[in-house]
């Protein structure tokens, strides 16, 4: 463990020497650039890390159709869909991306028709593909799939719910064929399940009586990865590092909250807070009172009392934890985020709410599960990890 911490500290210091300063203001501005198009769009203001839908595109470009937004004019940066719900932690410019009409509205042997294919995504039933005329508005076919113990919520272009969503029978226009995946919400249809604030939990038969959520914070189905967050932050963001971490002044040795060692606190700050307060807990903030991020002891209890197996569920790799009573939960593997990069994507990384207090409060305890190593260990607070909520 000590060797790991020393190596991590060396890597962290090296990274911070290459970066400097950050903006800790409460509001951030997104500026929209027509990027070859015409028209006017007012800048959009975001508050803190609150999720908000992007203003719908108002730019036009003769001979082209709007495709998406990108953080770099040539489209090699981060992509955002029109109207996508996001949170931001810095000012940025989004550049319109355009597709030539000859590509957007192709003249092919199908006579400018496109097909929407429906995928039950864990459910059962049959739905015929639906044909759309290019550029013609039409209602989606009403959902006909079912899933025992679940309620249909909406459609999404990606199975884990991270793509563009459409509601049942929504009136839409499309310019390409696509597959829509059913998104499900558990309704407590199996023994030991229940709901709190509209989110399902399951009793694994653990000694403490702790109930575990059936999906990650930010997801609607067990196979959904959800949204990674830094420890003590409540919304996901594009980049994860100390320069934009909420509770420091740009460095891991200038912590402004959750610090028990003066060396790591800004101006010697010490508050001896060792467990996330509800205002800083992503589970509580997103799912409401009663839900919270598990403590280290609760994560240890899960790890020590459950059998675990590497499985693929709904096309997603992860680990199945089965409790003493035979009930189980699925934790999808998704790695962790450091700056803009995803590392170790085949491994589970999940936060606890407990600070690592052994003289290095810039870390917090986390569950790490892989074929090679499985344990409750520590991770840098500035990294982006997933959250699986608990309740009592």
Report the SS3 class of residue 176. Answer: coil
User: Taking residues 95-109, what's their average pLDDT?
Assistant: 59
Q: What angle do CA 324, 213, 159 make, to 5 degrees?
A: 115
Identify the DSSP state of 361: T
Q: How far apart are CA 141 and CA 127, in angstroms?
A: 9
Q: Which of 85-89, 156-160, 309-313 has the lowest mean pLDDT?
A: 85-89
- Average pLDDT across the chain, whole number: 84
178 pLDDT higher than 60: yes
Please, which pLDDT band fits residue 163 given cuts at 50, 70 and 90?
low
| Coil/strand/helix, residue 356 | coil
188-221 per-position pLDDT tens digit:
444 567 889 988 899 999 999 999 999 999 998 8
Q: Which two tokens stand for residue 171?
A: 């009136």
Does position 242 have pLDDT exceeding 90, yes or no? yes
**Structure confidence at residue 18 (pLDDT):** 37
Tens digits of per-residue pLDDT, 126-137? 999 999 887 777
75: CB partners within 8 A, 6+ apart = 95, 97
Maximum Cα interatomic distance, the chain, rounded to a whole number of Å: 71
pLDDT score of 368 more than 90: yes
Structural domains in the chain plus CATH codes: 26-104 (2.60.40.4270), 113-186 (2.60.40.4270), 190-391 (no CATH)
Dihedral of alpha carbons 208, 231, 349, 388, sign: positive
Backbone angles phi, psi at 357, to 5 degrees: -100, 5
pTM, entire model: 0.56
Q: How far is CA 338 from CA 88, 345, 377, in A?
A: 16, 12, 17
Confidence check: pLDDT of 4 > 50: no
- In 3D space, the residue among 164, 361, 390 whose CA is nearest the CA of residue 282 turns out to be 390
Q: What is the pLDDT of residues 312-367, one digit of tens each?
A: 887 889 999 999 888 899 999 999 999 989 999 999 999 999 999 988 999 999 99
pLDDT at 49: 63
């Amino acid at each position: 463990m000590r060797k790991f911490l020393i190596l991590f500290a060396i890597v962290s210091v090296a990274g911070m020497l290459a970066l400097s300063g950050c903006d800790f203001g409460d509001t951030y501005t997104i500026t929209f650039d027509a990027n070859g198009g015409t028209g006017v769009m007012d800048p959009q203001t975001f508050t803190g890390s609150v999720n908000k839908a992007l203003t719908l595109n108002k730019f036009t470009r003769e001979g082209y159709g709007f495709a998406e937004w990108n953080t770099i004019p040539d489209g090699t940066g981060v992509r955002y869909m029109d109207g996508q719900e996001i949170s931001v932690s810095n000012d940025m410019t989004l550049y319109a991306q355009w597709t030539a009409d000859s590509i957007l509205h192709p003249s092919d042997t199908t006579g400018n028709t496109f097909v929407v294919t429906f995928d039950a995504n864990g459910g059962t039933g049959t739905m015929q593909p639906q044909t759309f005329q290019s550029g013609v508005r039409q209602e989606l076919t009403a959902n006909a799939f079912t899933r025992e113990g679940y309620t249909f919520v909406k459609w999404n272009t990606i199975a884990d719910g991270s793509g563009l969503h459409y509601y049942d029978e929504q009136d839409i226009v499309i310019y390409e064929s696509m597959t829509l995946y059913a998104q499900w919400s558990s309704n407590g249809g199996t023994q030991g399940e229940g709901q709190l604030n509209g989110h399902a939990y399951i009793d694994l038969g653990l000694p403490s009586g702790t109930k575990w959520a059936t999906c990650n914070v930010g997801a609607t189905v067990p196979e959904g990865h959800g949204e990674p967050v830094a420890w003590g932050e409540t919304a996901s963001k594009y980049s994860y590092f100390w320069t934009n971490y909420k509770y420091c002044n740009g460095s891991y040795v200038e912590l402004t909250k959750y610090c028990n060692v003066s060396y790591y606190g800004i101006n010697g700050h010490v508050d001896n807070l060792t467990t996330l307060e509800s205002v800083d807990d992503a589970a509580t903030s997103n799912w409401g009172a009663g839900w919270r991020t598990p403590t280290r002891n609760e994560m240890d209890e899960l790890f020590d009392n459950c059998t675990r197996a590497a499985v693929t569920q709904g096309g997603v790799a992860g680990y199945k934890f089965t409790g003493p009573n035979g009930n189980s939960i699925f934790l999808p593997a998704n790695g962790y985020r450091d700056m803009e990069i995803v590392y170790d994507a085949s491994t589970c990384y999940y936060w606890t709410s407990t600070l690592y207090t052994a003289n290095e409060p810039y870390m917090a305890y986390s569950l790490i599960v892989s074929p090679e190593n499985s344990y409750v260990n520590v991770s840098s607070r500035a990294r982006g990890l997933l959250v699986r909520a608990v309740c009592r």
